[in-house]
Amino acid sequence: MTTTTLAPTATALRGRRLPKWAPIAIAALALALAAALVHGAGLGGWVLTLTVGALLYLTGLYAVATAVEGRRAARNRTWSALIHSAFVLAVLPLSSVIWTLVSKGAERLDGTFFGTSMNNIGPRDATGGAYHAIVGTLQQVGIAALISVPLGILAAIYIVEYGRGRFANTIRFFVDVMTGIPSIVAGLFVLAFWVLIVSPYVNDGRPGYSGFAAALALSVLMLPTVVRSTEEMLRLVPAPLREGAYALGVPKWKTILRIVLPTALPGIVTGVMLSIARAAGETAPVLLVAGGTAAINFNPFEHNQSSLALFVYSQATDSSKYAPARAWTAALTLVALVLVLTIAAKLLARRNRLGR
C-alpha cells in the first residue's frame, strides 16, 4: 500500500529533460537557417545573420523545451539564454574598444613616442611623441587627487559621522548636484575664477594658463565622486563596530580614523580610482585652462601644459597623415595608465587587509 501511494510522488520529481547536446544543436540549426534566410534573400552580412540566428535560437529553444520539458523549464531556459545574451551584448563594445585600441595603438608604441614631445614636429614628420602629454596628465591628475581626495573623504566623514539635520542634508544635496556638472562648466568656472581673476595678481597682470588651473578644474569634477562613494562606503560600516570601539573608551575621532576608515578602505579606494579615471579622460577643462602645448613643461604652475586626453583630441583633428597613429597610441597609453593605477591601488588596499 505504501509503495503504491509513494510511487506517483517519487516519479513526479523526475521529468523529461532535454539532452545536453540539444541547445547546441538548436543553436547550430538556428544559425544555418538564419544564414540561408539572410543570404538567400541577399539582405546583408554576418551581423544580421547573427541577430536573426539569436532570435531563432530563443524561439526554437522555447518551443522545443516546452514540447519536451514543459512550460516552467522552457521559461527558465529562455530567461537564462536571454541573460547570457545580455551579458554578451554588454561585453561586446568593451572588447571592441580594447581590440581597436590595441591594434591601432600598437603602430607607434615605440621609444620615440614615450621619449619625445611634439616640439618642432611638422605635418611631414613621422616621429613625435606624447612625453609632454604624459607628464601633463600625471601632474594634473596627481595635483587634482591631492586636492580632492583628502577634501572629499573629510567631507564624507562629516556627512556620515558628524553632520546632523538640515546643514548636512544641504551639503549632500549640493554634492549630488555637483556630480552632474558638465566638465566644460567646471573648466569655465576655473577659467573665469582662477585664470582670469586670481592668477593675474601673481602673473604680472596676464592670465596664467597652467597645469595647476587644469588640476583645479579636474578636482571640481573629482570631488563629488569621491564624496559620494566614500559616503556610501562609510555607511556600510556596521554600527556595532563603532559601538565596540566607543565601549573601549576610544574617542570618536580615533574610532573613525582607526576602525571605520580601515574597514571601508577597499571601497573608498575603488571610488577614488573611478574619479581619477574620469579626471584623466577629461579634455575640455584642460583645453580651456591649460591651453595645451607641443613642448615639454615640467612646471604645472607656469605656462601651458598638455595632457593625454588633449593630445588625443589635437592629434585626431590634425591634418598630418601621421597624426592618427599618434592619437591611437596616446589613447592606449591613457587607458593603460588608468588600468595600472587602479591595479596598484587595489593591491595596496588589499595589502592592508589581513590574509585569510
Residues that bind other proteins (CB under 8 A): 164, 238, 240-251, 254-255, 258-259, 262-263, 265, 352-354, 356
In the numeric block, the cell 570618536 is attached to: 252
Asked whether the beta carbons of 57 and 28 are under 8 A apart, the reply is no
Minimum distance from residue 160 beta carbon to other proteins (Å): 12
Minimum distance from residue 149 beta carbon to other proteins (Å): 20
CA nearest 29: which of 20, 17, 21?
Answer: 21
Q: Please say which residue, 99 or 162, places its beta carbon nearer to other proteins.
A: 162
Q: Please say which residue, 72 or 353, places its beta carbon nearer to other proteins.
A: 353
* Cα gap 212→356, rounded to integer Å: 43
Residue 220 has which C-alpha cell? 571640481
Angle between helices 183-190 and 211-236 (to 10 degrees): 130
Minimum distance from residue 263 beta carbon to other proteins (Å): 5
Minimum distance from residue 85 beta carbon to other proteins (Å): 39
Q: Please say which residue, 87 or 253, places its beta carbon nearer to other proteins.
A: 253
* Cα gap 23→54, rounded to integer Å: 12
Minimum distance from residue 33 beta carbon to other proteins (Å): 55
Minimum distance from residue 197 beta carbon to other proteins (Å): 42
Phi, psi of 172 (to 5 degrees): -60, -40
Using DSSP's 3-state secondary structure scheme, residue 210 falls into: coil
Minimum distance from residue 230 beta carbon to other proteins (Å): 16
Q: Please say which residue, 77 or 242, places its beta carbon nearer to other proteins.
A: 242
Q: Please say which residue, 180 or 249, places its beta carbon nearer to other proteins.
A: 249
Q: Please say which residue, 48 or 265, places its beta carbon nearer to other proteins.
A: 265
Q: Please say which residue, 42 or 240, places its beta carbon nearer to other proteins.
A: 240
Torsion sign (Cα): 300, 306, 307, 309 = positive
Minimum distance from residue 250 beta carbon to other proteins (Å): 4
What does the longest C-alpha to C-alpha distance in the chain come to? 105
* Cα gap 323→121, rounded to integer Å: 11
Q: Please say which residue, 10 or 248, places its beta carbon nearer to other proteins.
A: 248
CA nearest 234: which of 269, 255, 265?
Answer: 265
CA nearest 223: which of 169, 267, 266, 276?
Answer: 276
Burial bucket for residue 175 (CB in 10 Å: 0-12, 13-18, 19+): buried
CA nearest 199: which of 209, 189, 186, 187?
Answer: 209
CA nearest 259: which of 272, 271, 246?
Answer: 246
